Amino acid sequence: MKVIIIEDEAPALRRLEKLLRELDPEIEIVATFDSISSTVSFLKNQPTIDLILSDIQLADGLSFEIFQQVKVETPIIFTTAFDEYAIRAFKVNSIDYLLKPIDIELLSVSLEKYRSLQKNTPTPDLQPILQQLLQNIHTPQPKPFRQRFLVSHRDTFMSISVDEVAYFYSENKLTYLVCHTGKKYVIPDTLEELESTLDPHVFFRANRQFLISQSAIQQIVTHFGGKLKLVIEPQIQEEIFVSREKAGILKEWLNR
């Protein structure tokens, strides 16, 4: 199998060369390149290549530009440190990917895949696939909201679903998770950290001390100065007030 490697980081290149030789001493690494321009110059001469391994992010741009300038009918394995979400849809036909640092077993699976493809599968038109991949990489992907909390209870650990949580509150530099059942647990997160990882359609930061699930709010009482007082379940001795500045935001949030 004749291979070229496109990689501008010397340690990554050395590791990939080493892994390829370990997997198959008969693999011939025909050439290595560290830029778009040098790779394009080589490929324009239409060399006989069985497989291309290419990093996505090169010093002079994204390697996709290579395949926009030169028509390539050779299978490609992209090696990348990009988030898997952005590229996972492209394990199809003649495009595959490996996340860095490269695992030798996954590299072996990819090589076997392309040995089979070379014999049985025509190479598709790469351009629309690469364009979509490029769009995915440049489009920020939404991070999933937190779904569970691991809490300690006596000598054991328990996993609590976010649906079981009524509210969180802070007191004496500790953060407490309170379930709809009334059970309470200390957790290591701050309210700021929780607010950034929980679904904002479900949890509302009432004030500096409370982050409350919509399902826990039983009643809203108008209060002096335009403030709102929240009555929640399970009940807590502390009175929970929402400032006049946040009162409108709360009403809008509850009306979604």
Give pLDDT tens digits for 164-211.
Answer: 999 999 999 999 999 999 999 999 999 999 988 899 889 999 999 999
Give the dihedral of Cα atoms 20, 23, 26, 28; nearest 10 deg: -10
Give pLDDT tens digits for 119-169.
Answer: 555 555 666 666 666 666 555 555 688 999 999 888 889 999 999 999 999
- The percent of residues above 70 in pLDDT, for the chain, comes to 84
3-state secondary structure of 242: strand
Give pLDDT tens digits for 79-131.
Answer: 877 655 456 545 554 677 787 778 888 899 888 877 776 655 555 566 666 66
For the chain, domain boundaries: 2-138, 148-254
What is the C-alpha separation between 78 and 185, in angstroms, rounded?
45
Q: Could you confirm whether domain 2-138 is CATH 3.40.140.10?
A: no
Question: What's this model's pTM, rounded to 2 decimal places?
Answer: 0.51
User: Which class is domain 148-254?
Assistant: mainly beta
β partners of residue 138: none
Quick check: do 2-138 and 148-254 share a fold?
A: no
